[in-house]
Amino acid sequence: MDAIFHALGDATRRAMLRDLAQGPRTVGELAAPHPMTLAAASKHIRVLEAAGLLRREVQWRRHLCHLEPAPLRQAQAELAFYEHFWTTRLDTLEQILRGADPASEGE
């Protein structure tokens, strides 16, 4: 999970994943929208690959990258726990701010 969140922590890598959601892309196509060299783009791609978010298919000299969505589902499930936690906390805070006693809500 740490590798997934590390990979998602960079805006360039998130943009690359959004591009891959539209379909497979070559390394050059993934690099094109970003002001970076192909070597720098390859480093980002390797991070995504190490996290399991991207699968690279080598066809001679052409490297075609594919999105691997399963790790994103794992990250979403991890975040869902915290979403429920904070939603419950914020609902309680809202009740307190509105003057309702959350303990007597069920009565």
Question: pLDDT per residue over 58-74, tens digit each?
Answer: 988 888 999 999 998 88
E runs forming strands in 4-96: 25-26, 54-59, 62-67
This prediction has a pTM of: 0.74
What is residue 25's predicted lDDT score, i.e. its pLDDT?
A: 96
How many Å apart are CA 12 and CA 48, to the nearest integer? 11
Predicted confidence (pLDDT) at residue 41 exceeds the cutoff of 60: yes
The gap from C-alpha 46 to its chain's centroid, in whole angstroms, comes to 15
Q: Which tokens go with 105?
A: 């809500």
E runs forming strands in the chain: 25-26, 54-59, 62-67
Helix and strand totals (H; E) in the chain: 5, 3
Q: Which of 30-39, 49-58, 98-107 has the lowest mean pLDDT?
A: 98-107
